[in-house]
Amino acid sequence: MFPILALCTLWGGLHLAQISGAIAPLAVAQAAALDDNTVDIVLTQSVFPTGTLHPGELVLLNLTFTNTGSTVMDSAIVEDIIPSELIPRNVVPSGISITDISAGQPYRWQTGALAAGARASILIDGYINPDLTTSLTITNTATMTAATDNNSSNNQAQVTLNVQTPTVSFNTTRYAVNEDNVQFPIEVRVTNPNPYASLSVHYSTIDKSAQSQPPELRDFTPISKTLVISAGYPSRQILIPILDDNISEGAEQFNVALSQPKGAGLGATTQVTLTIIDDDSAGVNISPSSVEVEEAGATAIYSVVLQSQPVAQVAIDIMADSAVTTSQNRLLFDSLNWQMVQTVTVTAIDDRIFEGIQESIIRHTVQSTDPNYDNTTVADVVATVRDDDKAGLTVRPSELNVSEEPNLLSSTAAYSIALKSLPTADVIVQPVSGDQLHTEPAALTFTSVNWNIPQNVVVTAIDDAVAEGESTAFIAHEIVTQDPHYADAATPDVAVHIADNDMPGVIISQQEITVTESADIRSATESYSVSLASQPMDLVTVTIAAASAFTVNPSVLYFDSMDWKVPQLVSVSVKDDDVVSDRQVGKLLHTVSSNDARYADLSPVELTVDVIDNDVLGLSYTITPPLTLTEGGAPLAYQLSLESRPTADVTVTAVISNGRLTLTPATFVFTPADWNTPQAGTIGAMDDQQGNEGTQFDQIHFTMASADPHYNGLQQDLDVVILDSAGARTVYLPVIRKLR
């Protein structure tokens, strides 16, 4: 049943009375033309809005009936067959009363009286079914029956409604999606979007080669959902979860389908196929692909792991040849441990055969019920085997220490030799020691029987005279054999550290010599000898340097490896410098030069030279006894000079002790240039006029002043005897004293 509303009810913003009046105007002129005693009901019908309708859109049906007769219509039955696609909500009478007498379809109302010429209407308010899935045309048919109506031809009215329903579909039939695209979007398009109501459609995934079950093998997450598209929207996306597994499967497909639309129909493309592009590949990774091992020595490890998750257990069998062994013969991988690296240790088989460097191939085969892994090709591992039985000598120890000093335990040492592998022919080993060492025996013979039994070599240092210092000599070894491996084998050297009992040096026969100054160099020469302490490896030059006062002959000495210990004589003399000096000590510096590094590094050697000075301090006079002076007699002429060269000017002042003498001059000056040039003077005795007094005495003091410390302050006295002029007189000259 419908609720019957009052006329004031609003619909869509329009007053129902306004709509009624606009749709069904009264035909007054027609009513006036009818018979005054008849009832003629005219039924019309209209719809609002007009044009194309959409699911969920509001619709207003207006049933208008007019009594065009001249008599009152007492009552009538209005019947309306409303199509199922139109869902009524309210019924509103206008200008007449109605009573709902419906018992279902068709809908029926009984009206009240309608006066002649009067007009009334019934407004039916409803909406198009929003769940329609197809576009269609629907017809609403209404009839009105009145007992007194004498014209039934105009008692029925129809109205047609055109309903347009949207369609939903995919915009393509196929997509390609990478396996790592975890949320793949698919667009669902709406054709003729409905602006009045939303629509919905169910979408779900359909397994094909891509599986959603069981969970551990899923390629995508299964979906069964309803998509709601709001009113007016032209499209919407759905997201399909793709699972990025680790299984090698190749390209796989599944479908997504649309179904169960509401408010729309299904378009042409209701199913789309998604092809998953696999990013996994079946395979076995081995790293490294080559290893090196050594007999009785280093091992090697390589790793094995699968590239992708298998769907069944994978067995990898390992096969090695006779040169190596592997720690495992079979490796097992499954869906849980396929990513876990498993390692294989490769060990060389230690034999006693010399084979040199050889290559061993380690092969792998795969078995599995997973078709992607079964019989998969796996790379080989190449193992390079280094033979510990290679041809060569075992020499122990590799270093020795010996001394050149004879008759000491340290003057000899020993080492042993053995072969490293079984030879195919006798091997003769000959030590080669050079000129600093002696080895015994001269050769060692090894056979297939004693090849690994050590044999000793005794080493003795040769005591030479060469100062080599701590040196190292090497003993090489030569092999004579028909075994080609040993003929080409490298041999180790033995390093022998030799303690030298020779030292480089310059030997001087004396630690000190004494030389006297002399004007005649030849008569005042001293000598010493020079030789070397050890045999040099190259020419040694000894250069003797001395102060300019010394004469050294020769000043350069040469020694070689033949005459190094033959003493060479060196003469030394000193020039007379006429200068008084304190004790003089000179140095002769012997500098060594040579290409022999041991001698080139020697420090200079000194020889001390004591110089005996032959010079004296004092004054020299030309007057000699006897000197006779007579009182008042003529002055005696004399000459005065220095005994030795001063280092500075010397002023000599003559002072008379008793005043009986006359001196001219009283002062003399000598320089380092004219010290030995005599300067003239006179000595006279004064007459005292006192008669015969006998012999008188006087004294002349010669005092010296100089910057030369030896002459400064020196005093030399001269005693003079004076005879009285009255008798004979004898003067004894000179009497000389040197005072400091």
CB 114 within 8 A of CB 67: yes
Tell me: pLDDT of 34 over 70.
no
- Sorted by sequence, the CB contacts under 8 Å of residue 103 that are 6+ apart come out as none
Please give the full DSSP string across 585-597, using - where no structure is assigned: EEEEEEEEEESSH
Mean pLDDT of the chain: 85
How does pLDDT run across 387-434, given as a tens digit for each residue?
A: 877 888 999 999 999 887 776 666 789 999 999 888 889 999 999 988
What are the backbone dihedrals phi and psi of residue 523, each rounded to the nearest 5 degrees, phi first?
Answer: -85, -5
What DSSP element (H or E) covers 728?
A: none
Query: What's residue 624's pLDDT?
Result: 64
How far apart are the C-alpha atoms of 326 and 435, rounded to whole Å? 53
How does pLDDT run across 143-159, given as a tens digit for each residue?
A: 999 988 888 899 999 99
- Sorted by sequence, the CB contacts under 8 Å of residue 307 that are 6+ apart come out as 248, 280, 281, 282, 283, 284, 285
Query: What's residue 521's pLDDT?
Result: 57
What DSSP element (H or E) covers 229?
A: strand 224-229
Q: Which of 149, 205, 169, 165 is nearest to 56 (CA)?
A: 165
Q: What does the radius of gyration of the chain's CA atoms come to, in whole angstroms? A: 74
CB 218 within 8 A of CB 211: yes
CB 120 within 8 A of CB 76: no
Q: How many CA atoms lie within 13 A of 593 on its CB side?
A: 6
* pLDDT classification of 27: cutoffs 50, 70, 90: very low
Q: How many CB atoms lie within 10 A of CB 731?
A: 21
* pLDDT classification of 523: cutoffs 50, 70, 90: low
How far apart are the C-alpha atoms of 102 and 125, rounded to whole Å? 17
Domain boundaries, the chain: 10-163, 167-277, 284-386, 393-495, 506-612, 619-739
String of b and e for 617-631 (b: at least 16 CB within 10 Å)? bbbebebeeebbbbb
Q: Which of 98, 160, 149 is nearest to 123 (CA)?
A: 98
**CATH superfamily name and code, 167-277:** CalX-beta domain (2.60.40.2030)
Tell me: pLDDT of 127 over 50.
yes
How does pLDDT run across 224-273, given as a tens digit for each residue?
A: 999 999 999 999 999 988 877 777 777 788 899 999 999 999 999 999 99
Whose tokens are 């509401």? That residue is 262
Please give the biggest Cα pair distance in the chain.
Answer: 234
| pTM passes above 0.75 | no
* pLDDT classification of 67: cutoffs 50, 70, 90: very high
Which residues make beta-bridge pairs with 220? 242
Query: What's residue 16's pLDDT?
Result: 41
* pLDDT classification of 597: cutoffs 50, 70, 90: confident
Q: Which residue has the higher pLDDT, 212 or 377?
A: 377
CB 9 within 8 A of CB 18: no
Calculate mean pLDDT across residues 356-378.
Answer: 91
How far apart are the C-alpha atoms of 711 and 105, rounded to whole Å? 171
* pLDDT classification of 730: cutoffs 50, 70, 90: very low
Tell me: pLDDT of 14 over 50.
no
Structure tokens, 69? 């007769």
Calculate mean pLDDT across residues 304-309.
Answer: 90
What DSSP element (H or E) covers 485?
A: helix 484-487
Query: What's residue 406's pLDDT?
Result: 74
* Fold annotation for 284-386: Immunoglobulin-like (2.60.40)
**CATH architecture observed for domain 619-739:** Sandwich (2.60)
* pLDDT classification of 363: cutoffs 50, 70, 90: very high
How does pLDDT run across 482-522, given as a tens digit for each residue?
A: 998 899 999 999 999 988 777 788 889 888 888 887 766 55
Please give the full DSSP string across 308-370, using - where no structure is assigned: SB-SS-EEEEEE--TTEEES-SEEEE-TTTTTS-EEEEEEE---S----SEEEEEEEEEEESS
How far apart are the C-alpha atoms of 342 and 565, rounded to whole Å? 78
Query: What's residue 37's pLDDT?
Result: 65
Q: Which residue has the higher pLDDT, 651 or 22?
A: 651
How far apart are the C-alpha atoms of 363 and 421, rounded to whole Å? 30
How far apart are the C-alpha atoms of 272 and 255, rounded to whole Å? 6
399-403 vs 494-499, strand pairing mode = parallel
Termini Cα distance of the chain:
171
Q: CATH classification of 393-495 is 2.60.40.10, yes or no?
A: yes
Query: What's residue 740's pLDDT?
Result: 38
* Fold annotation for 10-163: Immunoglobulin-like (2.60.40)
How does pLDDT run across 526-563, given as a tens digit for each residue?
A: 899 999 888 888 999 999 998 877 889 999 999 998 99
Query: What's residue 360's pLDDT?
Result: 92
* pLDDT classification of 625: cutoffs 50, 70, 90: low
How does pLDDT run across 193-237, given as a tens digit for each residue?
A: 999 999 999 999 888 877 766 776 777 888 999 999 999 999 999
* pLDDT classification of 19: cutoffs 50, 70, 90: very low
* pLDDT classification of 726: cutoffs 50, 70, 90: low
How large a percentage of the chain has pLDDT more than 70? Answer: 89
CB 309 within 8 A of CB 286: no
Which range of 354-358, 389-393, 441-445, 483-487 scores highest in mean pLDDT? It is 441-445
How far apart are the C-alpha atoms of 625 and 736, rounded to whole Å? 12
- Sorted by sequence, the CB contacts under 8 Å of residue 341 that are 6+ apart come out as 303, 304, 305
Query: What's residue 653's pLDDT?
Result: 93
| Helix, strand, coil shares, percent, the chain, to 5 | 5, 50, 45
**CATH architecture observed for domain 506-612:** Sandwich (2.60)
- Sorted by sequence, the CB contacts under 8 Å of residue 415 that are 6+ apart come out as 395, 396, 397, 398, 400, 456, 457, 459, 494
Domains 167-277 and 284-386 in one fold: yes
* Per-residue 3-state assignment (H helix, E strand, C coil) for 101-135: CCCCCCEEEEECCECCCCEEEEEEEEEECCCCCCC
Calculate mean pLDDT across residues 60-86.
Answer: 93
Tell me: pLDDT of 731 over 70.
no
* pLDDT classification of 7: cutoffs 50, 70, 90: very low
Tell me: pLDDT of 354 over 90.
no
How does pLDDT run across 695-725, given as a tens digit for each residue?
A: 777 788 899 999 989 999 999 888 777 887 7
For residue 167, give Cα distances in angstroms to 228, 258, 474, 580.
13, 11, 102, 143
How far apart are the C-alpha atoms of 162 and 52, rounded to whole Å? 5
Tell me: pLDDT of 582 over 80.
no
